[in-house]
Amino acid sequence: MLTNQWGPQNIWFMPAARPLDRIDRRILALLAENARITNQDLAAEVGLSPSSCLERVRALRQSGAIRGVHADLAPETLGVGMQALVAVRLRQHTRELVDGFQRYAAGLPEVLQLYHVTGEEDFLVHVGCRDAHQLREFTLDAFTGRPEVAQIHTSLIFEHVRRFGMPDYLDREQ
């Protein structure tokens, strides 16, 4: 059984420990585009020696600017035939309930991504299931049976386009 291993490195708002210069940001953009690029090719692209480039990549990892390198898996090769976004509204908004639900949902193997959001819903949960029957059973068992959950709304995902990079606002005017 696959399980999610979500820790502090997966929190979106974790800042980098040091300011990023133009070369650091170019390295990040190139790695987001192709994480398998060789250090030699990366160094040539950014105009550094391979040893200087490797040191910068290590510093970016250590600072938290690079949180990991991941394979982009084709869902259907693992039997995932249906994906959905499940909007979850909690009955109350106490830290204990919010944190507890977040820990619970992040530990479910069907959960691909989890977003704590503002608005009418409290969480958006991206899930992957074999088919409609498993999705129905999963949402009933995993969410509606929880005492802190007031309401869920499920939307099927027809297509999913994922961008691996991040916009770079550091050189843009405020």
Q: Are 56 and 90 within one domain? A: no
pLDDT at 174 over 50: no
Residue 115, beta-bridge partner list = 124
Distance CA 17, CA 12 (A): 14
For residue 100, being part of any structural domain is answered with yes
Determine the Cα–Cα distance for residues 127 and 151; give it in Å rounded to an integer: 17
Which pTM was predicted?
0.77
Give the domain extent around 41: 20-72
pLDDT tens digit string along 121-158?
A: 999 999 999 999 999 999 999 999 899 999 999 999 99
- What is the tens place of the pLDDT at every residue in 1-18? 333 344 444 444 444 456
| Residue 17 pLDDT | 56
Rounded to an integer, the average pLDDT of 92-104 is 95
Is 79 in the same domain as 104?
A: yes
- The CA distance from 29 to 170, in Å, is 13
Is 119 domain-assigned?
yes
The vertex-100 CA angle with 96 and 106, nearest 5°, equals 150
1 found inside a domain: no
Structure tokens at 165: 């990079």
- Determine, yes or no, domain membership for 7: no
153 with 89, same domain: the answer is yes
Is residue 107 in a domain?
yes
